[in-house]
Structure 1
Amino acid sequence: MGSPATEKGREADEAQHAVEIRYSFAVSKTPVTWDQWDECVRARACDGASVEAALGLDRDGKPTGNLGDHPRGNHPVVGVSWLDARDFIRWLNDRTGAGTYRLLSESEFEYAARADSTTVYWWGDEPSHDYANYGKDAAEGLGGKIEGRDQWENSTSPGCSFPANPFGLCDMHGNVYQWVEDCYEPDGARLPADGSAVENGDCSVRGFRSNSFESSEVTLRSANRAYVYAPDTRGRSYLGFRVAKTLR
């Protein structure tokens, strides 16, 4: 994982290194949606009111200020903290009796996003609005952009509005950033070689991967490590999560 020194937009924390995942795991086809999140809220296992208040929404889900659009339904839930994601997973495990749902590790996320590719994006080396919901070019700054299949200028798109990658996964690039399990490790080359999450070090912040509807092609890359936030950070209209489970 990581990126070659010649890759445009490459950051210093993306040194290429070998990771060997010797177990099978499943990944949700899309990020968790508002519909799925609302089930957890109705079960009183997730704090929907606090998440929506942090996003600038009232109890009816209507904007209380000029904070952009937050479509619901089968769009990815946004504004949730890492702790909120853990609450959802706890509820999902209790509901299904599986006990094995979890967040992806950083290494697992990149593996799943690449889908056996070695190119900048799973579909090739050039960014394309026909494959992902992302924003303006890097030189134009932050903000949405309508082009090609991407018809969502300043909002999320419904899950699987773009082609799935060869692993059958949608929105591994673009739409929303997605929380991962890992505690912060500033040197990507020091991520566990077995694909597991970093469970020690600076756990006052947690990482996330992918890219969002308002971010540029630079952060759309498979190797991009995004940013880190405190685990209780809410209100980010570009940040959601998806679930995974170890199979064997």
Structure 2
Amino acid sequence: MGRVLIGVIVLLGLAGIAQAAGVKEQPVVGTVVRDRLRDGTPGPELVVIPAGSFRMGAINGGGDPDEKPVHAVTIPRPFALGRYEVTFAEYDRFCQATGRELPKDGRRWFPFSHWGRDRRPVMNVTWDDAVAYTRWLSEQTGQRYRLPSEAEWEYAARGGIEERYWWGFSVGEKRANCKGCGSTWDNKKTAPAGSFGANPFGLYDTAGNVWEWCQDSWHESYEGAPTDGSAWQGGEDKRRVQRGGSFGSKPRYIRSSARGRGNPDGRYVYLGLRVLREL
């Protein structure tokens, strides 16, 4: 936490100097950014994440083979990441504007399964749906939105912490929504966005609730993975990376380094997204 605060202070100083010199202000770590859509309504809340370096993968041993080898990654520039997972309220607006069918707020094969929309994370969205949503945000705001790379996602989710979870080595109780996290919603349904504490970067629900789509194609290990924070695209495997675990995941799968994957046309109650805006 101390390192984050120091980063805030330094960037605040740089912003003041830049402003005095008539230069465009530098983004301040932890600042909440919210662009306006064309109709004047606010888009998703974003948090400015600093540039920096980290070790990616199963740092503390254990983990699955796909979390290895542990390797150093440098994120070369700040970016803004969704403060929360994209909610139904945000995604429904996109569907209504573009004529898309609204995703179900429960299990698609059970007509009486309605968990609520509004502040709950959107689910039952494919990778293609997620990409379409980021493109719509880009058109609406004039900024560049996209899905985060897997490296950007893990860097932000860790919040500068190298333990299994951003809050420590043990899953504890009522820190997240998973199968065994001790919350009201465990293994039943999603929790409203922001129901648990934020990580040191100010991000909510990076562990549990719903898996989140990333840009990257799936690779079975980190052999040959990029070290500059960019998305690892291409390869024979057409599946896409998912991160963060869900309300139905065991605690080991909501660790900061845990990985998931799925077909880009997959649509599940366990699966949603978080958006990134380039700065």
Tell whether the structures are fold-level matches, with TM greater than 0.5: yes
Percent sequence identity is 37
Q: Does the 8 Å contact 1:69/1:155 carry over to 2?
A: no
State the 4+ residue runs in structure 1 displaced beyond 2 angstroms.
Answer: 4-7, 51-55, 68-71, 188-191
Residue equivalent to 1:165: 199
Residue 204 of structure 1: how far off its partner (Å):
1.8
Aligned with 2:230 (options 184, 196, 213): 196
Note closer, same or farther for the CA distance 1:217–1:197 as it changes in structure 2 (3 Å cut): same
Alignment of 1:113 with 2:157, yes or no, is yes
Residue 31 of structure 1: how far off its partner (Å):
0.7
Q: Which has the higher contact order (CA 8 A, sep 6+)?
A: 1
Alignment of 1:84 with 2:135, yes or no, is no
Residue 203 of structure 1: how far off its partner (Å):
5.5
Alignment of 1:12 with 2:44, yes or no, is no
Which string of whole-angstrom CA distances, capped at 9 and with x for unpartnered residues, describes residues 118-166 of structure 1? 1010000000232111113xxxxxxxx6x2xx21130100111000000
Q: Does the 8 Å contact 1:107/1:191 carry over to 2?
A: no
Note closer, same or farther for the CA distance 1:37–1:128 as it changes in structure 2 (3 Å cut): same
Question: Whole-Å Cα distance in 2 between the matches of residues 6 and 89 of structure 1?
Answer: 35
Note closer, same or farther for the CA distance 1:73–1:54 as it changes in structure 2 (3 Å cut): closer
Residue 190 of structure 1: how far off its partner (Å):
2.8
- The one-letter code sitting in structure 2 at the alignment partner of 1:23 is R
SS in 2 for 1:190: coil
Question: Whole-Å Cα distance in 1 between the matches of residues 276 and 126 of structure 2?
Answer: 17
> What aligned pairs does 1:1-248 form with structure 2 within 5 A after superposition?
1-4=56-59, 6-7=61-62, 10-15=63-68, 16-44=70-98, 47-49=100-102, 51-52=103-104, 55-56=107-108, 63-64=110-111, 68-98=113-143, 100-136=144-180, 147=182, 150-153=183-186, 154-202=188-236, 204-226=238-260, 228-234=261-267, 236-247=268-279
Question: Whole-Å Cα distance in 2 between the matches of residues 88 and 246 of structure 1?
Answer: 15
SS in 2 for 1:90: helix
Q: TM-score, structure 1 length as denominator?
A: 0.84
Question: Whole-Å Cα distance in 2 between the matches of residues 71 and 5 of structure 1?
Answer: 37
Note closer, same or farther for the CA distance 1:158–1:53 as it changes in structure 2 (3 Å cut): closer
Gaps of 5+ in 2: 1-55
Q: TM-score, structure 2 length as denominator?
A: 0.75
Residue 14 of structure 1: how far off its partner (Å):
1.3
How many residue pairs get matched? Answer: 222
Question: Whole-Å Cα distance in 1 between the matches of residues 83 and 275 of structure 2?
Answer: 9
SS in 2 for 1:19: strand
Note closer, same or farther for the CA distance 1:185–1:108 as it changes in structure 2 (3 Å cut): same
